[in-house]
Amino acid sequence: MWLFSISCEKAKSNTLKNDQIMSLLIDVVKGFKGQPTDKVDAVTKQWRLEKCRDCPHLVFGLNCNLCGCFVSDKTNYKGEQCPDGRWGTEL
């Protein structure tokens, strides 16, 4: 897995994985758009991912063919919902 190293004096030993970077970027974009960035707990995320894995609209185990999202990211946010109605928002 690719790793991204933060190069600043206070955080030289910190390393972020690509999925962590993507999550931070999504938070920034959602915040810029005025959308909530609250995340669900690990159990809820896992339940949502299982619903997505059983879906015929899942492409290559990564993307939703209906909305184009990366399901591993979309299932992480309370304000998101499945476009096929398999799981809803949790606010």
**What confidence tens digit (pLDDT) does each residue in 40-60 have?**
999 999 999 999 999 999 999
Higher pLDDT, 89 or 15: 89
So what's the pLDDT on residue 90?
A: 67
CB atoms inside a 10 Å sphere around CB 46: 12
Q: How far apart are CA 29 and CA 42, in angstroms?
A: 22
pLDDT at 85 over 50: yes
- Burial call 19-34: b when 16+ CB within 10 Å, e when fewer: eeeebeebeeebeeee
Higher pLDDT, 58 or 89: 58
Mean pLDDT of the chain, nearest integer: 82
Place of tokens 């920034």: 28
